Amino acid sequence: MKATWKLADGREMTLDVAEGQSLMEAATQRGVPGIIGECGGSMSCATCHVVVDAAWADRAGEAGPFEEDMLDITEAGRQPTSRLSCQLKMTPELDGIAVSVPQA
Ligand code: FES
């Protein structure tokens, strides 16, 4: 399955993401600029913030309550479809998802 990260400088990176793997894990393993994943996915750093493309927002689902709190303190500022990418796990339904990496 694949996901595309749109970088702050206008470039795009499309990577293979295994089912069940988070977009944060896939991005940090392959060095997507701007995705740090400092806390390892425990929702305590917000350095994995992405903005889900509007077309994918429904399928990506909504942030849980704790994720909501973290999104409020992201460095780049929250947008309507902001998510913590450590909480976005790849599923067949999300194959092809596109997200933007906000400029920090
Ligand atoms: S990796 Fe820290 S909040 Fe997602």
Each residue's pLDDT tens digit, 28-82: 999 999 999 999 999 999 999 999 999 999 999 999 999 999 999 998 999 999 9
Q: What is the C-alpha separation between 3 and 9, in angstroms, rounded?
A: 18
Q: What is the C-alpha separation between 100 and 81, in angstroms, rounded?
A: 10
- For ligand 1, say whether the CB of 94 is within 6 Å of any of its atoms: no
The pLDDT score that the predictor gives to residue 27 is 98
C-alpha 27 to ligand 1 mean position (Å): 12
Residue 64, number of CB atoms within 10 A of its CB: 12
**CA–CA–CA angle 53, 59, 61 (5° rounding):** 95
Q: Which atom of ligand 1 is nearest to the CA of 47?
A: 2
Question: Model's pTM, two decimal places?
Answer: 0.95
For the domain made up of 2-100, give the CATH fold.
Ubiquitin-like (UB roll) (3.10.20)
Q: Which atom of ligand 1 is nearest to the CA of 87?
A: 4
Which tokens is 62 given?
A: 């909504």
Question: What is the Cα Rg of the chain in Å?
Answer: 12
Domain edges within the chain: 2-100
- For ligand 1, say whether the CB of 38 is within 6 Å of any of its atoms: yes
